[in-house]
Amino acid sequence: MTNDVSIFKQGGAVSTANRREPSELAKSLSRSGGGSRRIQTNTNGTFRRIVNGEQVGDALRGSINAIIVYALPKVSRIFYAQDYDPDAKAAMPDCWSNLGDTPEAGASNPQGSTCNSCPKNVDGSGSKGKGRACRFQRRVALLLEGDTSGAVYQFNIPAKSLFGKGIGNVHPFESYHRFLAANNESLDNLVTQISYNLNADSMELQFTPVRTLDDAEYALVVEAQARPDTKQAAVLTVAARDGAAPVRAEEGDAPTVRPAKAARAEQSPPPAARSASLASAVELFGKD
């Protein structure tokens, strides 16, 4: 099976219509300053575009369309010693592992020599003896459908949006990329709709293939994947910008944790250019 459009939310052939590419000047200005870009999820069911720590344009409710251009080969792990506090200043986690194997060198309070043997990776180590204190997470790099600048955004996928079974062509992330592979498709060759699961008791995201890329979109993907900032968007480092602390599954992408206090071991951690509905990234998030 090759390029089976039956798996897509939006059917139709791939467009190869000629389009004017953004100029080198526009690309340069778009990426200048070495700033950060991320798409923030929120418990109220909205997506916000955050550039250098500030919201740009209006939030979008319900879903966005994007092209996922890079992800680490394994699921990451993240641990906070303190309870979540929505009013606290953003902070880095105590311990984390980008590849889910060993703590990163920059972790201020590593909890074990390996993730498999870590006491925070044991069922019951979480808040009130429930779940694991160390949470799963994925960071991916994506392009927004309709944005011809090629700007790459970081996107956090919390634990509750990673695992489980899909229904039809709607899946949690880990099931989603396996579903695509089974249909001879890949994340970076199609537009994905990222939406909130309205039937979930807490905030959960789901992923649906919309359509394959046209030629211009594919060119943007190839260009983005050649840039070091694209891969950097998928990892957590001590140099993380704009206070964007990684997300807890329960609270969404709110970049906040409780200020430093004496650690309590029993506490839980915080855990691409055309669209049927939106024609451009400006329409997607409002004018800058």
DSSP 258: P
pTM of the model: 0.72
Phi, psi of 275 (to 5 degrees): -140, 150
Q: Low-confidence residues of the chain, pLDDT below 50?
A: 1-5, 13-19, 28-34, 241-252, 254-284, 286-288
CA distance 155 to 37: 9
Q: What is the pLDDT of residues 159-196, one digit of tens each?
A: 899 999 999 999 999 999 999 999 999 999 999 999 99
Query: Looking at residue 208, what is its pLDDT?
Result: 97
Distance CA 27, CA 188 (A): 20
List pLDDT tens digits, range 53-86: 899 999 999 999 999 999 998 888 899 988 776 6
CA distances from 133 to 50, 162, 163 (A): 28, 17, 17
What are the extents of the domains in the chain?
35-285
pLDDT for 63 equals 95
